[in-house]
Amino acid sequence: MCEESSGVRQTACEALGKLGEKAATNEVIAAFINATRDKEYMIRQTACEALGNFGEKAATNEVIDSLVNFIGTIDDSDDILVDALVRAMCSYDGMRSLNLGTIGKLCNWIRKSSEIDLTPIPSERLMELFLNSRNFSWLSLVAYVALLQGIAVTVCKGVVKIYDTKGVVELEMPNPELGITFTEAFSDQRREIESDFPFGKETAS
């Protein structure tokens, strides 16, 4: 993918991308990350699509950051790229590696996105990102995504209960103070969603 010809670079991207996880060596992933910054739009797009096909091994901070950056330059109507990013977000280890900057970009992109299906992302894994790390930079993103997924969450006696279509999942809350912050974050994000999507509200004629 270091060829001078853009056609050759794109062909190489497409060929390796079709191999999926079988081609996902560290060297190939690094080359595709570099290709997301190529001067040619089609090469950047092909590289992003390929990274989405590489599975959890490619779900790193650099890959997710590259996907968010590229999608942010176009719009959220490219289903292939959006699906690639959602697949990357399904990786607990990949999401856990995100730095503060990428978490912020990801949260902003989700807020701006008009069409995105977040249901494939395991809800309990998102909660664990915050509960296990106690990194408050995760909290807004976790709460916002969970609410968009239509998930109900309760906190009682040190236990977080997550209610989704699969049933109920219980997670331990490390301390009471964390539980208060957790519930406040959900309340804040719910108000924000209601202001963005005022369902049931009628505008005055």
Poorest-confidence range of 5-14, 57-66, 173-182, 190-199? 190-199
Q: Is the pLDDT of residue 109 over 60?
A: yes
pLDDT-based confidence at residue 205 (cuts at 50, 70, 90): very low
State mean pLDDT over 159-179: 85
Q: Is the pLDDT of residue 114 over 80?
A: no
pLDDT-based confidence at residue 78 (cuts at 50, 70, 90): low
State mean pLDDT over 118-141: 87
Q: Which ranges of the chain does DSSP label H, i.e. alpha helix?
A: 6-19, 26-35, 41-53, 61-73, 79-89, 92-96, 100-112, 123-133, 139-148, 176-196
Q: Is the pLDDT of residue 202 over 50?
A: no
What pLDDT was estimated at residue 82?
Answer: 82
Burial class (CB in 10 A: 0-12, 13-18, 19+), 54: buried
What pLDDT was estimated at residue 4?
Answer: 58
Q: Is the pLDDT of residue 6 over 50?
A: yes
Poorest-confidence range of 9-13, 136-140, 150-154? 9-13
Q: Return mean pLDDT, the chain.
A: 81
pTM, 2 dp: 0.72
What pLDDT was estimated at residue 77?
Answer: 60
Exposure string over 169-179, b if 16+ CB within 10 A, otherwise e: bebebeeeebb
Interior CA angle at 51 toward 45 and 54, to 5°? 150
- Please give the single-letter amino acid code of residue 23: A
Query: CA 170 → CA 3, 13, 48, 107, 110, distances in Å?
Result: 52, 43, 35, 25, 26
Question: Which of 7-16, 145-154, 187-196 ranks highest by mean pLDDT?
Answer: 145-154
* Domain segments of the chain as ranges: 6-112, 122-199
User: What span, in angstroms and rounded, lies between the C-alpha atoms of 176 and 169?
Assistant: 19
